[in-house]
Structure 1
Amino acid sequence: MAPLEVSQFLSSVQGQAHHRFPGTAGRFASLLPWSTLSTVLRQHRLDFPRLRLAMDGDVVPTHSYTEMVTPKRGGPIPRLLSAPLGQHLRNGATLVLDSVQELVDPIGELSASLEHSLRERVQVNMYAGWGKTHGFDVHWDDHDAFILQVSGRKRWRIHGTTRPAPLYRDVEPPPQPPAEPIADFMLEDGDALYVPRGCWHDVSAVGEESLHITIGFNPATGIDLVSWLADQLRTNEAFRRDLPRFGTAADRSARSAQLRDGILELLTPDVVDRFLMDRDAQAPALPRLGLPWVATSDLLPPGDDVEVRLLTPRAVLNQGEATVTLLAAGSRFVFASAAGPVLSALVASPVATVGSLVSVAAPSLDRGTVRALLGELITQGLLAVG
């Protein structure tokens, strides 16, 4: 987002308006080269709707470019048919692949880094096209998105927001936007674009190759906080009991007062902070195995130049008087306070070398103890080699 400062983006752009960030050609090329995309399509079993084709606002029937193959063991699996798939693409269809961060390492690294910075779950989808048609009609998304133009260019038309902060499950849909866009531009190779939730837009190919990725994330809302409060209230017996449907009016009034008091008891001035911390602590660990070491008793290679990474980008660390508590992947891990420097380094920057962690732990912990601590994190699924 340079030259815009991150603080400027968070305060004046995010959730408010679209913003284009011009870049240089080739800036994002290493994220997903065409050769890598071809390899992904060849080596993975990609079911609909994760892999799909879209054209003129409609989904292309999957049977027109895939066939079901039954292996010796197991049920039918889809297999792409190169000739009809290529024909659809030449006719102007857009190739869509969801959750590409699970398939391509550079995008996975970017996704993990952004989850660490944005403190929200991130999903990356890919769109590739060659024709002059549009894949989708004018629409809005229920998530914020960064669009990175990896190759080629595409035409974007932004129609603005007609309902502030709309939700996927809402009481009413946003009104249709004006026919004329408020912005009409080409997103060129190396450009980035931010589009907030609820902003109407449509995208068109321009008769040349285009590949972009969309990085979607859902900032926490007040509705999310209320849902979280409902779960917290399960500890209160009054909320677990049946409502006095067949009681007297006085019974129902008394229960209403009891429920109101229970809710107000949780609505402390720090309720937003408590909710956000718990949301981070519950975020799942990224799926990653450091083979072959995770399958051995050593857990780690012997050298200090070995790179390890924390698999919970949004882990929360609380320092006590004699202990330090790591809240991650829905669990609570308590360590002696001497482990604090190592855990702080990992939470601040999830990728580090064993040697750098040994250095920050000295003189409180020796090398063997640091490695034992890292090994424990590996066994808990919170850390991986490489």
Structure 2
Amino acid sequence: MSDNKDSLTFARLISPVGVEEFFQTHWEQSPLRLSRDVTGFYDDTLSVGDIDRYFQTQHISPHFLGVLKDGEYCPPDQWTEVLHSVRNNASERIVDIKKLLGLFNSGATLIINAAEAAIPSLTGCCRELEREWECHVQANIYITPSQGQGFAPHFDAHNVFILQIHGSKTWSLFDVPFPSPVQTTPVADNYKQREPTKTLELQSGDLLYIPRGTVHSARAGKGPSIHVTVGTMVRHWSTLLRLLANTADKNASFRSLLPHGLSGESEHASFNAAFRQQLQELIAQTDFLKIHNDHFAEKQRADIRGLFSDLLQAGRLTPDSVVCRRPSLRYSVERNDQWLIIRFAGEEIVLPLFLESSMLKMLGATPFKVREIEGNHSDVAKLEMVKRFIGAGFLTIIST
């Protein structure tokens, strides 16, 4: 069964500011600081106990961790160890938690990247935000010692929400050197000698929204500080052009080779006119929001919370068992003359086209009994179909 714990919705994240007001006044325009004076506001999303349990995990890969001291990354060999396997005579480098926490105790900032993939409560938060935003959402945790600073002044190429979990942190905000930056935009520099345009202090439970491109830095107050940076990887207009190119690859005309020997101005003009015409026809046939949403559905990370429990219970399913599509899951559907292709989270299920009517219940967001699947199928066939979708992580069991 999936985790039914309430997740942090976007409306609650920015409360008491309304969603419409936020987009009209702040989104990609100006920072927003919310001072709540509620120390445990984010306890359901991330607590000190959650991080403590994460550090108790054995064999943590160093790929998701970073250690910063004096503005520089500490080499992994300072906080990892080599684990040798006698069984297959192999070795791998894993995090040495005592060394890691020792560096923190001596003034280093610890960074847990993509923490939503490792801490279930953050998984729920990010999946809920992904459902609302239709884009990938990532959460990085920054654990900073007293008076410590992580990164030097910099900007992000995506919008970020800062959730102050523990302690306090002072944020310095500067200008926007490159409007609407993307990943390839040059990095801002020479901000260490500048005075910030705004300085804000966050306490536990507070929120800070920083529009992309805004140069910023942060320093912990008196005592250790923990905050989560939630990044919304919203796509740009230029993203649609890249997706359009993927669509063009499916068109035989666009797979043709460019003509050889275009030397004269008239030939250039004729070619440009023909290409524009062909491109305009492709644009007219393309539903851009659909290709955007389909691409996100196919690339979305799988939400496997409760999948193991579902697999253990799958053998107990009956026609009266209740199942449901995983609430945060997005999918795309492709039809051809014979097949129905359902893509989601890196998975692909191919079914005969005549089963399309039977898929209506499973593709919907409402829980349903197995016997309610439409079509002239036996209960055994319906159960097998449901088990296939449970095993793929598309459906979850509500009750057996």
Is TM-score (shorter-chain normalized) higher than 0.5?
yes
Residue 2 of structure 1 deviates from its aligned partner by 0.9
Shift of 1:308: 5.0
The code of the aligned residue for 1:381 comes to: G
Query: TM-score scaled by structure 1?
Result: 0.81
From the superposition, tell whether residues 292 and 338 of structure 1 become closer, same or farther in structure 2 (CA, over 3 Å): closer
CA deviations over 1:182-226 (Å, ceiling 9, x no partner): 221111101122112111100111231211111112111111011
Partner of 1:343: 363
Question: Which stretch shows the higher mean deviation, 375-384 or 207-216?
Answer: 375-384
Counting only pairs closer than 5 Å after superposition, residues 109-148 of structure 1 correspond to structure 2 as 109-148=124-163
Aligned counterparts of 1:133 and 1:20: Cα–Cα separation in 2: 21
CA contact (8 A) 1:162 1:175 kept: no
The residue matched to 1:276 in structure 2 has which SS? Answer: helix
Q: 1:34 aligns with which of 37, 42, 48?
A: 48
The alpha carbon displacement at 1:35 in A equals 3.3
User: In the alignment, which residue of structure 2 is the partner of 1:94?
Assistant: 109
Distance 1:166 1:202 in 2: 18
The structure whose RCO (Cα within 8 Å, separation 6+) is larger is: 2
- The residue number in structure 1 matching 2:282 is 266
Conserved 8 A contact 1:122-1:216: yes
Equivalent position of 1:183 in the other structure: 198
Give, in whole Å, the separation in 1 of the partners of 2:325 and 2:319: 15
Q: Which residue of the partner structure matches residue 351 of structure 1?
A: none
CA distance in 1, matches of 2:160, 2:201: 17
Structure 2 match to 1:381: 393
What residue number does 1:13 align with?
26
2: CA distance, partners of 1:90 / 1:362: 58
- Render the CA deviation track for 1:307-351: whole Å, top value 9, x for unaligned: 755175333689xxxxx99664475876554754663325xxxxx
Residue 10 of structure 1: how far off its partner (Å): 2.9
TM-score w.r.t. structure 2 length?
0.79
* Structure 2, unpaired ranges of 5+: 1-13, 335-339
Are 1:46 and 2:57 matched, yes or no? no
The 2-side partners of 1:360 and 1:120 are apart by: 34
2:198 is equivalent to residue 203 of structure 1: no
Letter in 1 for 2:72: D
- Could you say which residue in structure 1 is the equivalent of 2:368? 357
Check the 8 A contact 1:163/1:198 in 2, yes or no. Answer: yes
**2:153–2:217 Cα contact (<8 Å) kept:** yes
2:146 and 2:225 in contact (8 A); partners too: no
Q: Which amino acid letter does the alignment assign opposite residue 202 of structure 1?
A: S
**Match among 70, 75, 80 for residue 61 of structure 1:** 75
1:154 to partner: Cα distance? 0.9
Q: Does structure 1 residue 71 correspond to structure 2 residue 85?
A: yes
Pairwise CA distance, 1:359: 11
Inter-CA distance 175–83: structure 2 relative to 1 (3 Å threshold): closer
Letter in 2 for 1:383: L
Displacement of 1:166: 0.7
Query: Following TM superposition, by how much is the alpha carbon of 1:251 offset from its aligned partner in structure 2, in angstroms?
Result: 4.4
Matched, 1:212 2:253: no
Q: Give CA-to-partner distance per residue, 1:256-295, whole Å, 9 cap, x none.
A: 2222222211333974433333334433351416225436
Q: 2: distance between equivalents of 1:117 and 1:148?
A: 18
Instruction: Let me know the Cα RMSD of the aligned residues.
Output: 3.6
Question: Offset at 1:74?
Answer: 5.7
Matches of 1:185 and 1:228 in 2, distance apart?
39
| Aligned 8 A contact 1:282 1:329 in 2 | yes
